[in-house]
Structure 1
Amino acid sequence: MDSAEMARLEDEDSAIMKTIKATSTGLAAGVLWGTVVATWYDVPRVERHVALPGLIRTLKMCGNYGLTFAAIGGIYIGVEQLIQQQRGKRDFINGAVGAFAAGASVYGFKGRSMSRAIAAGSALAVTSSCLDIGGQRTRRDAGKEYYPYTVQKRPSPSVN
């Protein structure tokens, strides 16, 4: 790879990096959610030729949920970034198209039904649009200014 291509891949604001981050975050969240769901089900009885059936079932659920969440996150951000670059605008439509593509492709593939694909894509698109239009943020600016930490001692107040 030449230095220009390496710099493009290292840029954390690039579309590729955002897609990679969304995919890995989706994978981590899906594995965590799969673990929670696996604990809600009864552990199967020990079978004669199956070693550790509870652990195997839990790992399969973690993997299934992890891959599903990773696919949704990757497709959503990837399509959103692609649409944003093509349109040259940053608005709620990009997210809605990305959400529809993610929902329709992932849940349509899993459900093997066109009606489920359209329903899932529409539900995710409406949710994404509502969040984008409503300006929902995960962080709020408190208006505080933070200064860098220094190791210098402040002068002690003189006592009169």
Structure 2
Amino acid sequence: MDHTDLHAMDDDESPVMKTIKGATMGLAAGSIWGTIVATWYDVPRVERHVALPGLVRTLKMCGNFGLTFAAVGGLYIGVEQLVQKQRMKRDYVNGAVGAFVAGATVYGYRGKSIQTALTAGSLLACTSALLDIGGRTTRVDNGKEYYPYTTEKRPNVN
């Protein structure tokens, strides 16, 4: 491995790193959401060979939601980066294609039907396109730079 390969691995903006970050964030968000959903259900009765049925059920839900969100996040970012590289453009189409593939693949597989795949993919693609077209930001760049300190010297008080 030469020096350029090591530099490429350190780049935080590489498509591979973005995909890993998307999957990791999906895993974290899905695990948190799985915990929230698990609290909405009744705790199961004590079973004979399960020491902590509530904890086991909560961990299973965290894992299921975490893996689903990680798959969606990783596929979305990965496909978006591939489409961006092929098209040589950065616009809403890249995200829409990534969202469609992620939704259709993950939720289509879970729902075990083509109709579910097409519906989930289309809904995620529309959501992604709307967010990208809308700018998905709360700040407006007015060209000014703000510093937490002043650049002027204080008057000398004696």
Question: Shared topology, TM-score over 0.5?
Answer: yes
Q: CA deviation at 1:102?
A: 0.3
Within a 5 Å distance, the mapping from 1:110-121 to structure 2 comes to 110-121=110-121
Within a 5 Å distance, the mapping from 1:1-150 to structure 2 comes to 1-137=1-137, 141=141, 143-146=144-147
- Unpaired segments of 5 or more residues in structure 1? none
Q: In the alignment, what sits opposite 2:157?
A: 158
Residue by residue over 1:73-121, the C-alpha shift from the partner in whole angstroms, topping out at 9 and shown as x without a partner, is 0000000000000000011100000000000000000000000000000
- Kindly provide the amino acid, as one letter, of the partner of residue 157 in structure 2: S
Taking the aligned partners of 1:5 and 1:148, their CA distance within structure 2 comes to 40
TM (norm. structure 2) is 0.90
- Kindly provide the amino acid, as one letter, of the partner of residue 10 in structure 1: D
Q: CA deviation at 1:156?
A: 6.5
Residue by residue over 1:35-88, the C-alpha shift from the partner in whole angstroms, topping out at 9 and shown as x without a partner, is 111011111111122110000000000000000000000000000000000000
Q: How many residues align?
A: 156
Q: Percent identity?
A: 63
Moved over 3 A (4+): 138-144, 154-157
Residue by residue over 1:6-37, the C-alpha shift from the partner in whole angstroms, topping out at 9 and shown as x without a partner, is 21111011101100111100000000110111
TM (norm. structure 1) is 0.89
Change (3 A) 1:104 1:132: same
- Kindly provide the amino acid, as one letter, of the partner of residue 63 in structure 2: G
Change (3 A) 1:146 1:126: same
Taking the aligned partners of 1:135 and 1:60, their CA distance within structure 2 comes to 36
- Unpaired segments of 5 or more residues in structure 2? none
- Kindly provide the amino acid, as one letter, of the partner of residue 13 in structure 1: E
Q: CA deviation at 1:135?
A: 1.1
- Root mean square deviation, CA, Å: 2.1
Change (3 A) 1:139 1:27: farther
